[in-house]
Every structure is written in structure tokens, then in C-alpha cells.
Chain A
Amino acid sequence: MRVLVVEDFEVLARTIGTGLRREGMAVDVVLDGLDALEHLAVTRYDVVVLDRDLPGVSGDEVCRRLAAEHSETRILMLTAAGAVEERVDGLGLGADDYLPKPFDFAELVARIRALARRSTPPLAPTLAGADLSLDPARRTASRAGRRLDLSPKEFGVLECLLAADGRVVSSEELLERVWDEAADPFTTAVKTTIRRLRAKLGEPPVIETVREGGYRIGGA
């Protein structure tokens, strides 16, 4: 899952980034609205965590443009406004959810996951395919009842393949969805991770390599 955090308070932005990465999300952090718009123009994010009070381009403006141009991206707005009307304002601009400051980090994670599930078509809270099942919220995965011990990236790749529901997922797409912008586009990281993931999943092989295409699970 690819998440963009837009927050001008540097310590908070960095902490949210660290926390979400530990939850297995691919996170990019930007400190102002202009930078956010630039990131959104080149990368497709599942969820954007957006502070309302931003320098440069305001959070409201980012939200409005985002809702108009990237309808598949979910917006979680962070707001310090105490009054309900001001919070609801943000929803009117196209935000999918809001979280008043100060919030509990666990709630932020839960809301981001809930928003990611609201992609089209909606995803179930737990993903399944072949004899695999995966629970993104609990960060557990199992094959035929056997618990799998996966690294965050392996988990992310498996989550992406299961969410695709039989569709072929290219290496580039995996790189974009599971790795953040720090990843080198010419890296063999995807290949390596798939190899390790296959080893952990065991026999019979469940991840299929499609030539010139990518990978899939449970396809025809």
C-alpha cells in the first residue's frame, strides 16, 4: 500500500512516516502542498494523509485538486479545528475521512487501512486466494492454516498480488505499490523479494511468473 503523508510539522511528519513504514506501508513524506501536488502528479497513491493547514498550497486546495484529478486516491484529512463544522468542511471538499489532532497513532493506522479497502472494487478486510489468507490489519498471513513469517516487503508483495485477484501485476507496479520513492527503479529488489516469498510459501508453487508481464496468484 502506497501512502503519501503531507504535514508541515517536520517531527510529526517524520514520526508518522516511521510508524506507517513499520506497519508495512510504503510511505513518502512531504512538508508542503506544492511538493504534495508534484508527488501526486507522478505516483498513484492509495491513501493521502493530508494536514489542513499547510504552507504554500493549502490542504484544502490540495484536497480539492486531488478529489478532482485522482478519484481513486483516498484522502484522510488531519485537522486541528475544534468545531465540528470546521471538520465537516474538509469532507465537503472531497476528503474521505478526517482525524482531529491530537490522534492516537493506532487509530490513524486503522483509518488508513479502512480507506485503502474502499478502493474500487472494495476489498475484504482479509484477502484470500488459492489456499492463502492474509489479514492486513493484523499483519498475519497463512497458507493452508500454516502461519507465514514474512518481512514487511514480502508481506506487501503478497498483499498486492492477492488484491489483484488473479490479474497480472508487473514488477514496476509492485515497485510503486510496495516500495517508497527511496527505491531505485533499476533495482532487483522485486525479483529478490519474490524469490524469498516463494521460498517461504513453499510447495506447490503459488506465485506464477508471466513472461514479459509480471506475477500473479490464482490466475487462469
Chain B
Amino acid sequence: MDLPRKATARFHLPRRTLRLQLTLLYGGVVVVLLVAVLGIWGLLYGTSSKAAPGSPASAVAKAQAQAAGNGHHVDILFALVLAVAVVLALGLGWLIAGRLLRALRKITSTARAISASNLHERLNIEGPDDELKELGGTLDDLFARLEASFESQRRFVANASHELRTPLTAERSLLQVALADPDADVEAWRATGEELLALGGLQERLIDALLTLARSERGIEQWHDFDLATVAEKAVLVRRLEADRRGIRVETTFAAAPGAGDPGLVESLIANLVDNAIRHNVDNGQVDIATATRAGSAVLRVVNTGPVVPPEDIERLFEPFRKAGADRTRSNDGNGLGLSIVRAVADAHGATIVVEPRSGGGLRLEVAFPVSSRGKSQAPVPALSCSRPA
């Protein structure tokens, strides 16, 4: 149904297409030039026919009649040459424009055909290294970026779907199996209740993490001043208990480190880093957390002992729902979003993250918030958000 309509639309060229415009322009220029040349020639011819002013009247009249006869001839010749030139110019213009625009038409039709389902297709414009080829290449790059982005989005949705549905399935199965047990006593029901509560908590944390991720990816709406040291202190305080429970020592060195952004997001960045450092640690391990101002930027450093992380795995740690190798067991209460949140929050603040494996296992991670944050300078009313009490 759709196809013939498209075909006829392309056939009719009802609009002022670029091809038509180029043709008319080309033809017009040729005609104007031709008229100018012929006009000059005619002018020269006309001056020569008006020569000999001192001749007798009869001779003048005769000459004038001859000139008029001649002029008539010349006019017809002019018109003929002009007509042929116009037709030729328009025809050639049409062909040349068509040829030049062929690549453009290919770009249009391919770009029109590419959608989310066939983003792997490319224009692959052949031919000379001209502007159109450059355009094709630029679009191909765009498609490649879109494809990568779509693919990561698709993977994220599939993973999120799995992570959200699995605890739901466990809840339902727990209840159905418990209900089907004819001998279930209070003790059994109590155990079921406790497991359901734990599953509820897990889902709550996952949803919170997803929302934080979404919020940080949206960017920062209101910029506030904060001291990294204060925010870090707050985030670390509530995590000491968990660290003690796991027998991990937490050492802190908080020096004032003023920065600007969304303190809530920054707190969740620090919280996720510290959680991660505590969780992926070894027995009697240690976590060092420090804040400082270095070259004007607020820097947070988290160093933890832990299992050895191969350098090639580090980039993967920041992908959502990716957990390093054998560490990826569910008994471990991480939801696989921690470092994704860290990266998203850092990106929103224009902060840089430097990660390297610590010698002897574990990670050494540094987040540097820029001196005059790029986002801050773009913020609509930074002065207002700074002067307003937090």
C-alpha cells in the first residue's frame, strides 16, 4: 500500500526539488550570459550600421532599409541560437544535476529505510572524496553511535527485566509452595514471611537504584554548593555498621573539598563506591576513604583491599548489571547497578573517574569534580542556587 505512493511521489517531482532548482539556475545563467554576449555583439553591429553620417538622404534611407533587413535576419538568428542554447542548457543542467544528486538520493532512501530494527545498515557512499561522501560518512558514524546506544539500551532493559521479574517469581513461588504444603506450621510460615520481607527489601533497593540512575542520567537541574568531606562523612557513617559486621576496617581522611552539583546524587555516588569497596573485599580487609582539594578540584579517593581485578575487566565493571566474573552470585546483595550509578553521577557533574587495580588486589578509585564545573557555568541561575540556603 505504502510503496506505490512513495514511488509516484518520487516520479512526479511535484515540489521544487534541488535538481529542478539547479537545472533552472544553470539554464538561467547560460541564458543570461548568452543574451549578454549577443547583446554586446548586436550593439557593436548596430554602431557600425550607423556609420557615414554625412551621406545623402536617399543613400541614408537605403542604408537604413538594408540595416533593417539585416536587423530582421539577425533577430531571427538571435532567437534561434537563444532557443537552442536554452534547451541545451536546461537539458544538460538536468542531467548534470541528476548525476551529482544521485548520491544524495541514495542517502535519502537509505536513511529513510533505516529504523531501530535495521540500524546495522550503512550508506557506504562510493565515489570521489567529495562533500556528499563526507555527508554519507558522517551519517554512517551517526548510525553506528545510534546502534551502539540502542544495543546498550536493549541490553539494559533485558537485564532490568530479569532483575525485576526474578524476585517477583521467587515471591510467588514461595507463597504458592507454602500454601500447597498441608503440614505447614507457624514456624514454616514465619520462615516464609521473613524470606518475603527480604525479597521486598531487595526489590526496593533495586527500584531505588534504577531511579537514581535515571535521575543522574537526566542531568542536574539545580546546582548547589557542597563540601565533599561533609557529604562523604554522612555517607560513610551509616556504612560503618555493615563494615564492622563484615570485619572490614574503614579509615577516613576528610579534608575540605568544596564542589557544586546535586549533593543528593553525590551522596549516592559515594555510598555506592563505599558499598562496593566493603562488599568486594577480603577477610580483615580495609577501605580508605579520603577527600581533598587538588589543583582547585574536589577529589574523592576510595582504596580497598579485595580480590585481584584484571585491568581489562575494569571498564566492564561500570556497565549496568555486569559483575566481575565469579563474583557475580546473588547471595551477594549487590544489584549490579552501583558503579553504573557512580559513572552516571560523575558524568552529570562533569567529573572524571580514574580507576586502577591496587597492587595485591582490590581497587584504587578517584573521582575528581572539576574546578569550575562545565555544568555550573551553563546552569541558568548559579548565583541564586548558591546564595540560597541548602
Kindly specify which of B90-98, B125-133, B157-165 makes contact with the partner chain: B157-165
Is residue A18 within 8 Å, beta carbon to beta carbon, of the partner chain? yes
- B322: shortest Cβ distance to chain A, in Å? 11
- B166: shortest Cβ distance to chain A, in Å? 5
Is residue B176 within 8 Å, beta carbon to beta carbon, of the partner chain? yes
Cβ-neighbour of B172 out of A81, A86, A105 (below 8 A): A105
When C-beta atoms are compared, the residue in chain A nearest to B166 turns out to be A9
Give the chain A neighbours of B328 by CB distance below 8 A: 55-56
Cβ-neighbour of A15 out of B170, B330, B331 (below 8 A): B170
Is residue A70 within 8 Å, beta carbon to beta carbon, of the partner chain? no
Cβ-neighbour of A105 out of B166, B173, B198, B323 (below 8 A): B173
Is residue B177 within 8 Å, beta carbon to beta carbon, of the partner chain? yes
Is residue A72 within 8 Å, beta carbon to beta carbon, of the partner chain? no
- B165: shortest Cβ distance to chain A, in Å? 4
Give CA–CA (A10, B167) in the complex, Å: 10
Is residue B119 within 8 Å, beta carbon to beta carbon, of the partner chain? no
> Contact: A10 with B168, CB < 8 Å?
no
Is residue B326 within 8 Å, beta carbon to beta carbon, of the partner chain? yes
- A76: shortest Cβ distance to chain B, in Å? 14
Known contacts A9-B166, A31-B329, A101-B168; is A15 also within 8 Å of B161 by CB? no
> Contact: B165 with A101, CB < 8 Å?
yes
Is residue A50 within 8 Å, beta carbon to beta carbon, of the partner chain? no
B168-194 to A contact mask, C-beta < 8 Å, 1/0 = 111111101100110000000000000
Q: How large is the interface on A (under 10, 10 to 19, 20 to 34, 35 or more residues)?
A: 20 to 34
Interface hits, A28-85 → B, CB 8 Å: 31-32, 52-53, 55-56, 78, 80-82
Give the chain A neighbours of B198 by CB distance below 8 A: 11
Cβ-neighbour of A18 out of B168, B171, B177 (below 8 A): B177
Give CA–CA (A9, B164) in the complex, Å: 12
Name, among A10, A56, A101, the residue most crowded by chain B CB atoms within 10 Å (CB to CB): A101
Give CA–CA (A16, B172) in the complex, Å: 11
Known contacts A9-B330, A11-B199, A18-B177; is A80 also within 8 Å of B165 by CB? yes
Interface hits, A12-36 → B, CB 8 Å: 12, 15-16, 18-19, 22, 31-32
Give CA–CA (A15, B331) in the complex, Å: 15
Give the chain B neighbours of A145 by CB distance below 8 A: none
Known contacts A55-B328, A56-B326; is A15 also within 8 Å of B173 by CB? yes
Cβ-neighbour of B170 out of A12, A22, A104 (below 8 A): A12
Known contacts A101-B168, A101-B169; is A81 also within 8 Å of B177 by CB? no
> Contact: A81 with B158, CB < 8 Å?
yes
Give the chain B neighbours of A22 by CB distance below 8 A: 177, 180-181
Cβ-neighbour of A80 out of B166, B176, B323 (below 8 A): B166
> Contact: B177 with A105, CB < 8 Å?
yes
Is residue B204 within 8 Å, beta carbon to beta carbon, of the partner chain? no
Give CA–CA (A184, B224) in the complex, Å: 66
Give the chain A neighbours of B162 by CB distance below 8 A: 52-53, 80-81, 101
Is residue A205 within 8 Å, beta carbon to beta carbon, of the partner chain? no
Interface hits, B182-232 → A, CB 8 Å: 195, 198-199
Give the chain A neighbours of B329 by CB distance below 8 A: 8, 31-32, 55
When C-beta atoms are compared, the residue in chain B nearest to A103 turns out to be B169
Interface hits, B49-78 → A, CB 8 Å: none
- A186: shortest Cβ distance to chain B, in Å? 30
> Contact: A101 with B331, CB < 8 Å?
no
Give the chain A neighbours of B169 by CB distance below 8 A: 9, 12, 78, 80, 101-103
Give the chain B neighbours of A220 by CB distance below 8 A: none
- B84: shortest Cβ distance to chain A, in Å? 63
When C-beta atoms are compared, the residue in chain A nearest to B195 turns out to be A11
> Contact: B174 with A15, CB < 8 Å?
yes
Is residue A199 within 8 Å, beta carbon to beta carbon, of the partner chain? no
Known contacts A18-B177, A81-B158, A105-B177; is A10 also within 8 Å of B330 by CB? yes
Is residue A182 within 8 Å, beta carbon to beta carbon, of the partner chain? no
Interface hits, B103-120 → A, CB 8 Å: none
> Contact: A104 with B158, CB < 8 Å?
no
> Contact: B170 with A81, CB < 8 Å?
no
Give CA–CA (A175, B213) in the complex, Å: 51
> Contact: B177 with A10, CB < 8 Å?
no
16 contacts between A and B (CB under 8 A): A9-B169, A10-B330, A12-B170, A15-B170, A19-B173, A19-B177, A32-B329, A53-B162, A55-B323, A56-B328, A80-B164, A82-B161, A101-B162, A102-B169, A104-B176, A105-B177
Q: Ordered nearest first, which 9 A-B pairs have the shortest CB separation?
A: A12-B170, A80-B162, A19-B177, A102-B169, A105-B176, A55-B328, A80-B165, A101-B169, A101-B165
Q: A9-B167, A80-B166 are in contact. List 15 more A-B contacts (CB 8 A).
A: A9-B166, A9-B169, A11-B167, A11-B170, A11-B199, A18-B177, A19-B173, A53-B159, A55-B323, A78-B169, A80-B169, A102-B168, A102-B171, A105-B172, A108-B173
Which positions in B face A, CB cutoff 8 Å? 158-159, 161-162, 164-174, 176-177, 180-181, 195, 198-199, 323, 326, 328-331
